[in-house]
Structure 1
Amino acid sequence: MAPETVFSLIVALTFVVIALRDVRTNFWPKFSADKSFQHLTFFVIFALFLLWSARASVKQDLHIHFLALTTLTMMYGWRCAYFLTIPVIGALMTVGSLSAAGALHTLMISALLPILISYAVFALSYHYLPRNIFVFIFVAGFFNGGLTALLHLLFNSLYQYTFSRYDWATIVDNYLMLAPLIAFPEGLLNGMALAILSVFKPEWLRVFSDRDYIYNHYHNK
């Protein structure tokens, strides 16, 4: 087994163990008891599968596709969001889009890292910026999605370069140069999704609270 595969396996399994407690105590009881939550979760998994299937391959292991993981993180929290990417990646393996080694790489670089970045940006905006719905949509949604897409491409580039798959000039000329083209659509996708959910279905957003983002805002006025 290649060193990068072993590294990806260790990181992926470590965070699966970390996520399991939250899945057992918060996600699974609601999932097993609430039919509407089951339908929502199955739809989200299927939607991610479709998004991740429609990817452009610049070179082997240099893929570009919509992530939509900022929205997933806001809906489920980072631990459950990470856990939900596992069946998506399993489905991609089933249809032949990913090998076993590619699945581990995807689980770490294209799932775990974007989810952690998305949650970190949200946490910083929650603690250090005014808590109102516009900050949530534009910072935790639009800006967060775009930044996550950029950092995802950067981390994947560094990963490929570190394990000597490609030289840096090849990565920059064929992969990183596309970063601006994916960042804005990714930000727009997540910003629009969070805008719709926060207005019409705030109960689907685990990190969103009317008390923090709406009522507290008007009370402070």
Structure 2
Amino acid sequence: MNLPDDHFSLFWIGLGWLLLVLALVWSIKTAPWHKIKGDSEAFNVFIGTSVLLSFIWAGAASIGGGLSFHILLMASVTLMFGPQFALFSAILALVGVTAMGQSGVLMFGMNAVLMAVIPIFIVWLMTLFAYRYLERHFFVFVLFNGFFAAAVSTFVSLLIAAGVMWLGGLHETEKLTQSFLPYIPLMVIPEAFANGMVVLALVVLKPQWVSCFDDDEFLKGK
């Protein structure tokens, strides 16, 4: 998505920053800071993930006129770190993308909302739903929390991004219906597949990196 500064009014710029600040305040107040105290491995994984995410986001596929797509990986990052630290990681990644000139400085807040706050919120709600109402099973975790949550969160985020571009005057309805909306389903599938594979690999090889996964609950006795 990586919205540019052009054509957006102060209303959209201010709204984006307001929503981002509110999300950051909540994250700072509720983050489980005790879990990372003195944990150098967790810190290294966090920084490494943020850097990798920045390069992935910077490599957006442009289809002209400021329209672009890229893998978000917010489902994987949320399951790894929880919603608060996932937001911190995404903001660090977006700082890198913005510094590379791939995203608008003034629209940083709105880009963060579209690329991080919204998908993280959706993934976390679906994760809580699965934890409460679905069987705590390895494949449920991978398929629902990884694959399906990634698909739903990406679909919603891209639709909202289209609405922002239309209401903000960046693109007309005809442009969006011809060059953006038809590509949304095409992005949902690889996003779901990528997150599903990342989550699967992590819970098999490095389950300690996935804060939302517990061997005792999802594997033992299954």
TM-score, with length taken from structure 2:
0.89
| Alpha-carbon distance, 1:106 to partner | 1.0
| Alpha-carbon distance, 1:24 to partner | 6.7
**Cα deviations across residues 141-190 of structure 1 (Å, max 9, x unaligned)?**
11111222211211101122222322223212110101122111111111
User: Cα distance 1:175–1:139, how it changes in 2: closer, same or farther (>3 A)?
Assistant: same
CA contact (8 A) 2:18 2:109 kept: no
| Alpha-carbon distance, 1:99 to partner | 2.3
Q: Which residue of 2 aligns with 1:3?
A: 11
SS in 1 for 2:106: helix
Aligned equivalents of 1:96, 1:20: Cα separation in 2: 28
Aligned equivalents of 1:95, 1:18: Cα separation in 2: 28
Which segment is superposed worse, 56-65 or 124-133? 56-65
Aligned equivalents of 1:114, 1:6: Cα separation in 2: 20
The answer to which structure, 1 or 2, has the higher relative contact order (CA under 8 A, 6+ apart) is 2
1:65-104 equivalences in 2 (<5 Å): 65-104=70-109
Which residue, out of 198, 202, 209, partners 2:207?
A: 202
Q: Which residue of 1 aligns with 2:52?
A: 47
CA contact (8 A) 1:61 1:102 kept: no
User: Cα distance 1:40–1:25, how it changes in 2: closer, same or farther (>3 A)?
Assistant: closer
Aligned equivalents of 2:61, 2:107: Cα separation in 1: 15
Q: Which residue of 2 aligns with 1:17?
A: 25
Within the alignment, does 1:106 sit opposite 2:114 as a pair? Answer: no
| Alpha-carbon distance, 1:61 to partner | 5.1
SS in 1 for 2:62: strand
Letter in 1 for 2:15: F
1:22-41 equivalences in 2 (<5 Å): 22-23=30-31, 25-26=33-34, 29-30=36-37, 33-41=38-46
Aligned equivalents of 1:6, 1:56: Cα separation in 2: 27
Aligned equivalents of 1:53, 1:154: Cα separation in 2: 21
List 4+ stretches of structure 1 deviating above 4 A: none
Aligned equivalents of 1:211, 1:76: Cα separation in 2: 19
Which residue, out of 117, 122, 133, partners 1:117?
A: 122
Aligned equivalents of 2:134, 2:121: Cα separation in 1: 19
Q: How many residues align?
A: 214
In structure 2, the gaps of 5 or more residues are 1-8
Q: Which residue of 2 aligns with 1:180?
A: 185
**Cα deviations across residues 89-138 of structure 1 (Å, max 9, x unaligned)?**
11122222222123222111111111111111212122121110001111
TM-score, with length taken from structure 1:
0.90
In structure 1, the gaps of 5 or more residues are none
- Specify which structure has the higher proportion of helix: 1
CA contact (8 A) 1:45 1:84 kept: yes
Identity of aligned residues (%): 22
User: Cα distance 1:25–1:39, how it changes in 2: closer, same or farther (>3 A)?
Assistant: closer
SS in 2 for 1:130: coil
**Over aligned residues, Cα RMSD in angstroms?**
1.7
Aligned equivalents of 2:34, 2:73: Cα separation in 1: 22
